[in-house]
Amino acid sequence: MNEPTASSYPPSAKKFAFPKEEHLCRKKLIDELFGKQSSSFGVYPLRIVWLKSPEPTTAPPQVLISVSKRIFKRAVDRNRLKRLIREAYRLNKYRLLEQPNGHPVALLGIIYTGKEKSPLALVEKKLISAFQRLLTAPIVASDLPTVA
């Protein structure tokens, strides 16, 4: 059987992984993400909260994925939606990482705010549009260094 092996792929093949190092787990960083310096916007059914890195980077941001227990009472439904968001992020994070000058995101929170369960295609489409919006985010005057 001609099954492809890891060595048969070209070296430029994209890595579609979401390793533990990219998961946002530390309480201090989560508090920082939802603090005063973070920015957010909505792309229904997702809400994107992000913290700007000091300089553009090519390293992947740490990501937090959340689904409200108030809206989805059953853990089965919450876990399914989190799996869909994780899969959409995993398949499309290259759009964020492969920018020629790097990307401005240090921490990223993806919060599902919809009231109904959405299919993967919709979640993926909205996440792609959120990445495009992140990459074209204007520089706020408070982000610019002051000249003395």
Q: Write out residues in the chain with pLDDT < 70, as ranges.
A: 1-13, 138-148
Q: Return the pLDDT at 15.
A: 78
Domains and CATH numbers, the chain: 21-133 (3.30.230.10)
Q: Return the pLDDT at 78.
A: 97
Q: Return the pLDDT at 138.
A: 67
Which pTM value belongs to this model? 0.83
Q: Return the pLDDT at 87.
A: 96
Give the tokens for residue 2: 């001609």
**At residue 102, what are phi and psi to the nearest 5 degrees?**
90, 180
| AA identity, residue 11 | P
Give the torsion sign (CA, 119, 122, 125, 127): negative
